Amino acid sequence: MQIKTIKTHPYTDQKPGTSGLRKKVKVVLQPHYLENFVQSVFDALGDTSGITLVLGGDGRYYNRKAAQIIIKMAAANGVGRLLVGQGALLSTPAASCLIRKYGAQGGFILSASHNPGGPDEDFGIKFNAANGGPAPESLTNAIFARTLEINQFHIAEAADVNLDAPGDYPLGTMTVQVLDSVTDYAELMEQIFDFGLIESSLKSGRLSICFDAMHAITGPYAQRILVERLGASPDSVMNAVPREDFGGGHPDPNLVHAHELAERMYAPGAPALGAASDGDGDRNMIMGDHFFVTPSDSLAVLAANLHLLPAYRAGLKGVARSMPTSQAADRVAKALGIGCYETPTGWKFFGNLLDDGKITLCGEESFGTGSDHVREKDGLWAVLAWLNLLAVRKQSVADIVREHWAQYGRDYYSRHDYEGMPLAIGDGIMAHLREQLSGLVGKGFVGSQVSVADDFSYTDPVDGSVSPNQGIRIIFENGSRIVFRLSGTGTEGATLRIYLERYEPDATQHGHDPQEALKDLIELAEQLGEVRNRSGMAAPTVIT
């Protein structure tokens, strides 16, 4: 095997975001664009001689080609062992599972998560660290710094590796081990949940499920676990075959993009549980018969009930949520007498809390939930947790959630997304809001006074690192909140997200439509942010 050193020049736009580097395919296809980023990762890692890494992706366009490039670059950079998912496929939580199970020093995950795929759409790549979670800022900053000065990369001159057949393939001094993409993850799920109880409930007809894989990575996982292992009916998994363009759909599990599932769950004879996952398998949507569970409520309900499931019977060490996520989980943590942590958006912020044993469960309002079994959010884990919970409690999804509200109160909650907004306009809206913060505390709006108005800053309780400017919070004395945040998960323009929350302890008032219950906060958010006026957008593009 010959190792070639190729001269290159830097690109200035390779700064990893909260979930790695995401770009349009046409950007990634520029000469040496991918190679520059990958070599920068190897350079930032330091001595990579003999280390073990993991590689896989969500199957979107360019996934297989990119995998072959990374394999040859890994060999050229001295990697000793590369664990690759069959077909270059791995869900993000499965990649985290492999890193942790086999003691790898990290791994490359090829995904743009819930973003669309195809030749004209998005591609993404990120590096996960040895704990299985997203690389910390210290590493991503080092990677970015290297991308700005890189002038060469190393790659092996060799034939492509056969990624479709499990086995060991030598490539110079490196061994490429192609693994079945599902087996290790499925084994972990069986250790966590009561598969026997779920299986008997499904086969007896006491329980039923419809899972929408959205032509993304979780199709093979759901087919293997739900249908083949647990005995769900063959039609329980929709859109099960991964496709490079996700079947022309947008693999984001919400009521807008998973409309086929939503229609089935609001039709007569709906299954007991409806669920969906996203492009790389780390997000989830939970529904019941004619009932939608917000991600914030899902986190809170799981926090209150996880002790009923095998792996969590000792109870929870603590709970964490991202700042924009509703405060519903906080109320459960207080009742249980356990710690509750509010972090910035981005799963990497949960990693320190998990590694330090401060929390067992964590989640984000953006349809992400996970536990200490891996260091990524895990869509199928959340679905199995709900399935197991339904089998134990023998109640409907709606009854479980309404019972939860009766005990803890209901947090009416909604997120309004303004997608594709020019970044300059988004920045202008945020600047306009910041100018008002100092004068808002003590003012009365929507029947309550403002108690906090700030730009959220987080101090990590484990390592003391500080993350400022994480979103504008306007918090009222009665517990209501408005949060404004610019999201960095897209590849074009910006997405302004407005989060709205009102706490209602009175069970007789829990039956309202969230948009109606939040109407006064929605109007106040427009008054303060002038979003429609400044952007020219008449309404949010997505409401969840």
Per-residue pLDDT for the chain (544 aa), expressed as one digit of tens each?
A: 899 999 999 999 999 987 799 999 999 999 999 999 999 999 999 999 999 999 999 999 999 999 999 999 999 999 999 999 999 999 999 999 999 999 999 999 999 999 999 999 999 999 999 999 999 889 999 999 999 999 999 999 999 999 999 999 999 999 999 999 999 999 999 999 999 999 999 999 999 999 999 999 999 999 999 999 999 999 999 999 999 999 999 999 998 899 999 999 999 999 999 999 999 999 999 999 999 999 999 999 999 999 999 999 999 999 999 999 999 999 999 999 999 999 999 898 999 999 999 999 999 999 999 999 999 999 999 999 999 999 999 999 999 999 999 999 999 999 999 998 999 999 999 999 999 999 999 999 999 999 999 999 999 999 999 999 999 999 999 999 999 999 855 556 789 999 999 999 999 999 999 999 999 999 999 999 999 999 999 999 888 8
Question: Which tokens sit at 287?
Answer: 């529904």
Q: What are phi and psi of 190, to 5 degrees?
A: -70, -25
- Interatomic CA distance for residues 379 and 382, integer angstroms: 5
Strand 458-459 vs strand 448-455: parallel, antiparallel, or unpaired? Answer: unpaired
Q: Pick the catalytic residue from 19, 91, 113, 326.
A: 113
Instruction: Name the CATH topology of 410-543.
Output: TATA-Binding Protein (3.30.310)
Neighbours of 234 (CB within 10 A): 9
Q: What are phi and psi of 468, to 5 degrees?
A: -90, 175
Question: Which tokens sit at 170?
Answer: 């030598």
- Interatomic CA distance for residues 59 and 429, integer angstroms: 37
* Segment 64-122, tens digit of pLDDT: 999 999 999 999 999 999 999 999 999 999 999 999 999 999 999 999 999 999 999 99
First to last CA, the chain: 52
Q: Which of 15, 1, 79 is nearest to 45 (CA)?
A: 79
pLDDT at 490: 54
Specify the CATH number of the domain 2-181. Answer: 3.40.120.10
Q: Annotated catalytic, 113?
A: yes
Residue 257 DSSP code: T
Long-range pairs, 331-335, Cβ under 8 A, ≥24: 331/300, 331/408, 331/409, 332/300, 332/303, 332/304, 332/408, 333/303, 335/304, 335/408
The sheet with strand 448-455 has its strands ordered as 444-445, 448-455, 472-476, 481-487, 494-504, 410-421, 542-543
For the chain, counts of helices (H) and of strands (E): 18, 27
Residue 489 DSSP code: -
CATH class of 185-408: alpha beta
Question: Which tokens sit at 247?
Answer: 């079947």
Q: Which of 21, 123, 12 is nearest to 66 (CA)?
A: 123
Q: What are phi and psi of 104, to 5 degrees?
A: -70, 160
Question: Which tokens sit at 356?
Answer: 């330090």
Q: Which of 530, 514, 83 is nearest to 294 (CA)?
A: 514
* Angle formed by the axes of helices 183-192 and 92-101, nearest 10°: 80
pLDDT at 348: 87
Q: What are phi and psi of 498, to 5 degrees?
A: -115, 125
Place of tokens 């997505």: 542
* Segment 172-200, tens digit of pLDDT: 999 999 999 999 999 999 999 999 999 99
pLDDT at 488: 59
pLDDT at 492: 64
Q: Do domains 2-181 and 185-408 have the same CATH topology?
A: yes
Q: Where are the beta strands (DSSP E) in 129-267?
A: 152-157, 167-171, 174-179, 209-212, 237-238
pLDDT at 530: 96
Report in angstroms the alpha-carbon separations of 507 from 173, 393, 514. Answer: 65, 21, 15
Q: What is the dihedral of CA 135, 458, 253, 354, to 10 degrees?
A: 60
Handedness of CA 375, 377, 380, 386 (dihedral sign): positive
Handedness of CA 399, 403, 406, 412 (dihedral sign): negative
Average per-residue pLDDT for the chain: 96
pLDDT at 489: 55
Residue 326 DSSP code: -
Neighbours of 149 (CB within 10 A): 9
Domain chopping of the chain, boundaries: 2-181, 185-408, 410-543
Q: What is the dihedral of CA 399, 400, 403, 408, to 10 degrees?
A: -150
pLDDT at 491: 56
pLDDT at 137: 87
- Interatomic CA distance for residues 345 and 486, integer angstroms: 11
- Interatomic CA distance for residues 419 and 493, integer angstroms: 8
Conformational region of residue 59, where left means phi above 0, alpha means psi within -120 to 50, and beta covers everything else: left
Q: How does DSSP assign 451-473, residue by residue?
A: EEEEE--EE-TTT--EE----EE
- Interatomic CA distance for residues 347 and 124, integer angstroms: 16
Question: Which tokens sit at 162?
Answer: 């056969």
